[in-house]
Structure 1
């Protein structure tokens, strides 16, 4: 006979107690690992959690501090505390992302890093050498956004332009493709199908060369709608056996802090009114230009981009770089003579003065990126400036010798002799001829005999009256 199976007996609290013990063991294991670590990496918000409440930190370093709001940056300072604080960031790149327009207008988009730099309370230390980009790629940003103080630590030979693309000339890893396709709208975002097709052709040409891996190419665009279109179109161009998700297509904001050997940028904006939207933010242009290591290709409508001041300057820079013409060099600075016998106090005062001056120039470059460091001397329009003649505008130097020309003053040309004009009396005494003042004078008599007859007839007529 079939036996009845008794129902399983459930012991209350057994599973619950086992779970608590396992969680406690995991927590203790994590704490032991963290206690043995010299450096703990976390986000600014997570640092304020209870997980780190039992730790005391000797120093706090906040990376990308210029992109963190003040509220996020003070969380590790207030809740965790520290003996030293180091803020690492770049105020010439994108500010904190704030979704609320009202909060942005009230100052929430200002980072703690930018406030300290602009306030002048602390002197920032500038890392003045970049090791990522080709020197020509970094040249525009260095001169325009960093007041010419950013140097390149790599040579052009170490960053050769990728094959498969039509670069303007040999040694120029920058290309601009002028697109004439109109932009479209998708909600609040923008897209441009014409530029998307150009991007696909460029990426396909690079894949055909088999020089760059799919992870070494980055496609950047400022609008989310254009990102969706490019992802859909580029999936069919990825080589077989390769994951399409490895080809990174993202917005400028998501690419901050990243780098690729080749960057293909789609500007999207193309309209008759010359509206560029948030492309007018010079910090977004700076981020886009400094992502590339070996080459950068920009697709955009030059007529629209030229209406923006910063983009107009970049187009002028590209025209000179592409043609091989000499670009405006950075102003040469006079080398400071350092006293070899200076005391430690004098050395500290000199270094402090240099840091304060560097901070002042950098702050001016941030507030007025196109005009802060452009120091041009006024020149006279009548004469050129002479560097030898004591720096006086409009004065010729003493070493100049004038050869040729006139040795005597020019003779005056005499005016032609003019005959005096005879006044002709009016006919009659105290009377005027019965003509209008606008009537032209009578033509002179053809012969002397006719004139005498007329005078005799006039006298006879007067006597008769």
Structure 2
């Protein structure tokens, strides 16, 4: 395939993805309380938002209000308020609407860059070398002294170097020192990645190293764009904001003054509304726009003067300050998550390129199902350049440099990934044996680095969300929360919870926000999908696979083409303790032995790294005030809750449930002020309202804030002793569960 053919196919694939996103929308947010600010040239509205929407100013959006819709753009987005400029007007007030945003304009910028590459012979040659890397290397192998030195030599003598960096193998360390070496030789280096976090981490490591060598010069190293997260908290002097603040203080001061004035005014708008405030907001937007033009000119100069620039791929492809320059070396980090056209763009603007990533981790994400999109936007450059084929043939590609010693995970955890994911090419550095023992010795499940928390025979709890079809499992959610609680109380302050399913991740995030907020502020506790967690690490990781009966089969996320990569990411975020919450019985029934999840379960069982619900009493040492585990046969506590109900009782009775006389008496003797809603396939004497739904597991909900999961026990199917029930006090979880019936 010629380089021009490559580029034409990439441009076509990107356009197909853009068309798909425009047609079906992407991120969807509810916005409320919209008020018209002005209607000169365009219709400018102020809206309240439930959460802070981090949508860049100028982004294209679409607003849907009932059957009506309008295109528009974001004028400002700060705090819980957003100002939109719409092509159409919908009157003075919009009670609630949907805001659709997907940054397809970034893909349009990438198409423009590819078109420029197609017309430039030198850039086309660079792209060809990327896609068809030479089998001959030119670096002097006999001179190699270390990993860093080998990468320095490879990137000096070879136009394209691929770096395979499995988790914990020192990828950031190696790339940072390689970039520093180029800087010491007065070479211009561009550092790129798909995420701001990855750029920040690498730029921070690089700056630390150069400062230790006492060779740091202000303005030589620049982090361009981004929100400058925690990784750069000690390196304000390499950010554009920090440099402008020091070099042109009046611009920085004016910016802070205007933004503060706008924030205060938007708070006023949220509470009240007046024509004067509306006019003032629009006047401020105009002033801020003019100021940002001045800041932009200064930023462009900073980029030109810097020797090392760090930015995201999206920023680089859309900002002429970067893409109009040429660099001696371009370093693309986390390349396994970048689109192939993005990798080609990175290669085209550098004389040498280092492509670093792990093709055993998650691939790029695209929405369109078109074959061309699948080919070029859902697989990484390692696969298309033949690097992976070489490994499958039992050898490393000559242009591939493998980092093969991991220093992150306890050996009991890495034993699985080293063998089953990395074909025994990766080993453990001796330091992980002693450095992780402190974490391993702490609760839960002390002195175990990896444990399968088996939820087999605890009932039929895995459901699909009514709105999104994403799966959730309340029993495994509460088990996982208990593991977080035990770890936190025993001193662990770095805890991650991951799951393949967005619904489950959102539920855990909501639960933590409601009943564990103080603890989350004192510790680093995060809940997310596996996709969101790539690039992070925690001392303790909980991997909740969610899937179990009554689902007929496991989801594609756990068994499909990319399932090995997803499970690998989930495991390898861990430093010292990996807790795998999973239904062994369901997995053994429905997943064949060649699949990664089945291999993981079999490995943990074979190595005596599993516990069942029979042993829950041995590891639950600390009951949380809002979550209590109780033997399901003991009914005193649930009956006390029923007697204290003030407004409503909702009870789920699965098919075939025949309640005991004790339960019937409690429900028949409830006060007149109480409304009893029964979820069942048949009428019940004690019900005020019947929701004729076949629901798989029993629960009792009191006043829409207290949930008893696993009761009445008579309704539980596919359970074995010990019969456990969980009492959860959470309005958020109760509200979510009720929405599944409305």
Q: Distance in 2 between matches of 1:127 and 1:150?
A: 8
Residue of structure 2 equivalent to 1:370:
none
CA drift of 1:244 comes to 8.6
In structure 2, runs of 5+ residues without a counterpart are 1-283, 391-396, 611-742
| 1:125 and 2:424 are equivalent in the alignment | no
CA drift of 1:29 comes to 2.6
Deviates more, 1:174-183 or 1:28-37: 28-37
Q: Distance in 1 between matches of 2:285 and 2:484?
A: 56
Structure ID, larger Rg: 1
CA-based RMSD of the aligned residues comes to 2.8
Taking the TM superposition and a 5 Å limit, the aligned residue runs for 1:129-140 are 129-140=405-416
CA drift of 1:23 comes to 5.1
Paired residues of 1:45 and 1:75 also in contact (CA < 8 A): no
Taking the TM superposition and a 5 Å limit, the aligned residue runs for 1:47-196 are 47-48=316-317, 49-78=319-348, 81-103=349-371, 104-116=373-385, 117-118=387-388, 123-153=399-429, 154-160=431-437, 161=440, 163-167=442-446, 170=447, 172-179=448-455, 180-181=458-459, 182-186=461-465, 187-196=468-477
Structure in which a larger fraction of residues adopt helix: 2
Q: SS at 2:350's partner residue?
A: coil
Paired residues of 2:303 and 2:322 also in contact (CA < 8 A): no
Residue of structure 2 equivalent to 1:221:
499
Q: SS at 1:248's partner residue?
A: strand
Paired residues of 1:276 and 1:304 also in contact (CA < 8 A): no
Paired residues of 1:58 and 1:82 also in contact (CA < 8 A): yes
Residue of structure 1 equivalent to 2:42:
none
* Higher relative contact order (Cα pairs below 8 Å, separated by 6+ residues): 1
The alignment of Structure 1 onto Structure 2 pairs a total of residues equal to 302
Taking the TM superposition and a 5 Å limit, the aligned residue runs for 1:27-426 are 27-48=296-317, 49-78=319-348, 81-103=349-371, 104-116=373-385, 117-118=387-388, 123-153=399-429, 154-160=431-437, 161=440, 163-167=442-446, 170=447, 172-179=448-455, 180-181=458-459, 182-186=461-465, 187-209=468-490, 211-213=491-493, 216-238=494-516, 240=518, 243=521, 247-271=525-549, 273-280=552-559, 281-306=563-588, 307-308=591-592, 309-322=595-608
Paired residues of 2:509 and 2:528 also in contact (CA < 8 A): no
Paired residues of 2:512 and 2:520 also in contact (CA < 8 A): no
CA drift of 1:72 comes to 2.0
CA drift of 1:24 comes to 5.7
CA drift of 1:27 comes to 3.4
The runs of at least 4 aligned residues of structure 1 exceeding 6 Å deviation read: 15-21
Q: Distance in 2 between matches of 1:319 and 1:118?
A: 31
Q: Distance in 2 between matches of 1:266 and 1:310?
A: 15
Q: Distance in 1 between matches of 2:289 and 2:378?
A: 43
Q: SS at 2:498's partner residue?
A: strand
Q: Distance in 1 between matches of 2:587 and 2:368?
A: 27
Paired residues of 1:59 and 1:85 also in contact (CA < 8 A): yes
Q: Distance in 2 between matches of 1:33 and 1:235?
A: 41
In structure 1, runs of 5+ residues without a counterpart are 1-14, 325-465
